[in-house]
Structure 1
């Protein structure tokens, strides 16, 4: 897992053809806006989160965000424990996101 600043996350993601964006916030939070092309995977719904995580390919590069960066850090740790090598946590989360967003 690597913690990335907003600019690092954007730059690295923009140059990564093997990327997957994961939003681990709640449905209510996602309804307030999200980063385009994300896959929603609510970390608070542990069963479905783990089921979906186990179906994802560990060879992809996962860019993960939440509201502030705490839950996405937890999600990175969980994915790493499942054998995922490349997980990237967005420091500051969606609250501090300055890039493109959908509302």
Structure 2
């Protein structure tokens, strides 16, 4: 797992053809908006979250965020334990995100 600042995360993401963005916030938090093309996997879903993560391609690079960076760091650690080599945490999370966002 690697912790990246907002700038580092976005620069790395923009250059990565194997990038997958994962939002680990709750459904309610999604109402504030989300980063375009993010896959929603609520970390509070426990085993359901782990089951969904295990379905992902371990060869891809995962850019993970939550509201402030704490839950996404946990998600990256879980992914590493499950054999994922490239999980990148967004320090400061969606709260500090200054890039593009969208709403449902």
Superposition TM-score, scaled by structure 2 size: 0.97
CA shift, 1:32, in A, is 1.3
CA shift, 1:52, in A, is 0.5
Secondary structure, aligned partner of 1:64: strand
Compute the RMSD of aligned alpha carbons: 0.5
Secondary structure, aligned partner of 1:35: coil
CA shift, 1:77, in A, is 0.1
Q: What is aligned with 1:2?
A: 2
Secondary structure, aligned partner of 1:63: strand
Secondary structure, aligned partner of 1:85: coil
Write the distance in 2 (CA, Å) between the matches of 1:6 and 1:79.
21
Q: What is aligned with 2:70?
A: 70
For structure 1, the 5+ residue unaligned runs are none
Q: What is aligned with 2:98?
A: 98
Superposition TM-score, scaled by structure 1 size: 0.98
Secondary structure, aligned partner of 2:32: coil
Secondary structure, aligned partner of 2:21: strand
Write the distance in 1 (CA, Å) between the matches of 2:16 and 2:46.
28
